[in-house]
Amino acid sequence: MPFTPFHFGPALFFGLLFFRKIHFPAFLMANIIVDMEPFLVLFSGLDYPLHGHLHSFSGGSIAAILLYLVMGRLDGNIRKFMAIFKLEQDLPLKSIWLTSFSGIYLHIILDSFLYTDIKPFYPFVFNPFYAYFSMFQVYLFCILLFISGIGLYVDKYTREGTSS
């Protein structure tokens, strides 16, 4: 899903569902950042696969480590920003580590169902996930999770708003 909003659905839903365990902003970023690769390929005219190395677990792992380092460094500023949306978290920085990997891997798996050029187990060229679910099923899943995620946020926001 090159730079589509569809990955935001699973990120929002699972990020709020497991809010007490995972670093919410890191999870959102992890689910979206992988699509910088096809974005750059399409808009810069690079002679590179649309879904290249970042859409593999090995390349995604490198991206997760970099995301961990950046999000850890910015955590204080991110906490202030998230407070605006009543999404305060008091999690240790190490939570960003697992969160970064899980979000990026979720992105890779969802895209692996849809695209033949994704090689999730690079350097191996097979994709065992391809066509396991149809494009319609994956997109519907993402849309339903987005709607459910909004419901979780509204519930969380109103519950915390009434408890203050």
pLDDT computed for residue 162 by the predictor: 57
pTM of the full predicted structure?
A: 0.90
Answer for the pair 101, 90: CB distance below 8 angstroms, yes or no: no
Average of per-residue pLDDT across 18-36: 94
Question: Which residue type, as a one-letter code, is found at position 69?
Answer: L
Question: Which residue type, as a one-letter code, is found at position 149?
Answer: G
pLDDT computed for residue 163 by the predictor: 56
Answer for the pair 76, 150: CB distance below 8 angstroms, yes or no: no
pLDDT computed for residue 121 by the predictor: 97
Query: What is the spatial distance between Cα 81 and Cα 4, in angstroms, rounded to a whole number?
Result: 24
106 closest CA partner among 89, 129, 136, 126: 129
pLDDT per position as a tens digit, 111-154: 999 999 999 999 999 999 999 999 999 999 999 999 999 999 99
Answer for the pair 100, 88: CB distance below 8 angstroms, yes or no: no
H-helix or E-strand containing 109? helix 95-112
Query: What is the spatial distance between Cα 113 and Cα 55, in angstroms, rounded to a whole number?
Result: 12
Helix (H, G, I), strand (E, B) or coil at 35: coil
Its sign, for the CA torsion 105, 109, 114, 117, is positive
pLDDT computed for residue 60 by the predictor: 97
